[in-house]
Amino acid sequence: MTMPSMDPTNKAPERTAAATTVAAIDLGTNSLRMVIAEILPDGRIEVLERLQRAARLGQDTFRRGRLGGQSMRAALNVLKDFAQVLRVYNVTRVRAVATSAVREADNADTFLDRAFLAAGLHIEVIDPSEESRLVAAVRQALGDSPPENPQQTLIANVGGGSTLLTVMRGQEIVTSQSLRLGSIRLQEMLFTAEDPPERSAELLRYHIANIVASVQGTLPLRSIERFVAVGGDARFVARQVGSPIEGTDLVAVDPAEFDKLVARCQRHTAEELSKRYGLPFADAETLNPALLIYQILLRQTRAQRVLVSQASMCDGLLLELAREATGKEDESLLAGVIHSATSLVEKYHADLEHGRNVADLALRLFDELRGDHRLTPRHRLLLRIAALLHEVGGFVSNRAHHKHSEYLIGNSEIFGLNRNEITMVAAVARYHRRSPPQPTHPNFMALPRETRVVVAKLAAMLRVADALVRGEARQVRGIRFLRQDDDLVVAVHGPDLVLKQRAVAAKGDMFEELFGIKVRVEEG
């Protein structure tokens, strides 16, 4: 595909009137990337231009804990150039994200403010779980499963600051984890840049192996049958020793050929690698650490080959933008969020059946009141996760367990939810019992006003659902909701009618205050 010129004086190509022009920007550890694309009405994505510019944001962060002045200026100049291209294409929706290099910098807020002033870009700093979700979102670009149809797949994305590992069983996301193993981070931690190449490789290999060994108990690496590598260094491997798989966007690499390539590369300095393979110096400098990480991970699995994807985090961002434009959800990603929440329930020995029953009723309430609350499908997911997790605080103590639930959830990682969403889930779970939100509650008042409104609405529905879950599961499934003017009649049957009436009377006040709807529990 011929790429349009970066010259901002050139006119952008003509586009379909019904298409939406969007852009994804990834501020990585070693470079900044932007992809501009059209989202067609049927959800298809047509890439118009891909741009990548070097800016070593991670070098100073991993060494001194702060973004350096020179690297900030370089990044800001790139962002200003990107902003010019955005104007040329009349981009209507931009999502820009920053990862570990900005996330871990003490002066991150200063950089984000300067980026907005210089380029008009709102940059979102995402956490590792959000990174994993975006990387996993590109799995549909991996093509169909190979003929052997492996049961478990590992998607490994080695970046400058961290390595993201996502495990899938079929199309279901089982777990994800972020390791503090990044090509730039390793060099800054171990000071290997000045060592002879083979000595540097020896130190890196030892450190990487120790980190990978430490996660064997939480990641099922020994059961992995398909190994998918994502990232610029993986694409280098594909170019050197890979074979394209017909009909897919994948390149297959034989492990023996991969080992030979690693052995060749680790004998050379970054300068030599740059000359030998025609790489930009910034890419050559990260090559050996990244290849060693992929190699050590691969050797811990049962995979017979490496599958390299051409996709990147920007592609994951584009897929999300496409879903926003079309209103479609990624069902397998949603399943991954629920699986992650369920794992937390089991970790803290909460009653999973109770959580599922509460979630079922809470979602039915959400759907029944769609015209009253005017919330989104994403909020529906947050309600479901809060309902599943609302009693995990009992792991700490049954006394004030709602407060312990807020703390445990707020300090956990839930795959597929960003940090703001996890905070919302924690707050909704906190208010499933006892006092509704009060001006004296600092965590709640620290939320933006719009978020407080959403949390209150979700918590009100959760309180009613939790009050109604009494008795056997079949009785819960038999509950029906009927609207009668300004009342919501809950028709129930079974011997615990009085218990349900008293529980709703005690916990339904917040619901009535927010929605102006009184909940009445009647036999039916």
Average pLDDT of the chain is: 89
Instruction: Give the model confidence (pLDDT) of 212-231 as tens digits.
Output: 999 888 888 999 999 999 98
Helix axes 377-389, 449-468, angle to 10 degrees: 50
Q: Cβ neighbours of residue 514 under 8 Å, at least 6 residues apart? A: 456, 457, 460
Q: Residue 16 and residue 48: Cα distance in Å, rounded?
A: 13
pLDDT of residue 474: 52
Please tell me the distance from the alpha carbon of residue 253 to that of residue 93, in angstroms, as a whole number. 37
Q: Which of the listed CATH numbers 3.40.50.10490, 1.10.3210.10, 3.90.79.10, 1.20.1560.10 matches domain 329-523?
A: 1.10.3210.10
Residue extents of the structural domains in the chain = 20-126, 131-314, 329-523
Residues pairing with 51 in the sheet: 34
Span 33-53, mean pLDDT? 93
Are 360 and 477 in contact by the 8 Å Cβ rule? The answer is yes
C-alpha 283/C-alpha 235 separation (Å) is: 11
- C-alpha 191: how far from its chain's center? 31
Percent of residues in the chain assigned helix, strand, coil, to nearest 5: 50, 15, 30
- For residue 392 the two structure tokens come to 């995990």
Average pLDDT for residues 278-290, to the nearest whole number? 92
Mean pLDDT of 489-511: 87
- The closest alpha carbon to 182, from 103, 290, 68, belongs to 290
Residue 15: pLDDT band (50, 70, 90) is very low
- Look at 65-69, 289-293, 452-456, 481-485 and tell me which has the smallest mean pLDDT: 481-485
- Which residues on neighbouring strands pair with residue 152, listed in sequence order? 169
pLDDT of residue 191: 75
pLDDT confidence band for 324 (50 / 70 / 90): confident
Whether pLDDT at 4 is above 80: no
pLDDT for res 331: 77
58: Cα within 13 Å, side-chain hemisphere: 28
Instruction: Judge whether residue 28 has pLDDT over 80.
Output: yes
Q: Which residues does 489 contact at the CB level (< 8 Å), separation at least 6?
A: 481, 482, 483, 520, 522, 524
CA distances from 372 to 254, 359, 461 (A): 57, 19, 12
Helix (H) or strand (E) holding 465: helix 449-468
> Same topology for domains 20-126 and 329-523, yes or no?
no
How do residues 333-387 score in pLDDT, each as one tens digit? 788 899 889 999 999 999 999 999 999 999 999 999 999 999 999 999 999 999 9
Give CA–CA dist 425/63, Å, rounded.
Answer: 35
Fold of 20-126: Nucleotidyltransferase; domain 5 (3.30.420)
Residue 347 CB coordination number (10 Å): 12
Q: What is the pLDDT of residues 449-468, one digit of tens each?
A: 999 999 999 999 999 999 99
pLDDT tens profile 134-166:
877 666 655 544 444 547 899 999 998 999 998
Over residues 486-504, mean pLDDT: 87
CATH superfamily of 131-314: Exopolyphosphatase. Domain 2 (3.30.420.150)
- Using the predicted structure, report yes or no on whether residue 128 has a pLDDT greater than 60: yes
**For residues 284-295, average pLDDT:** 95
Share of residues in the chain with pLDDT > 90 (%): 64
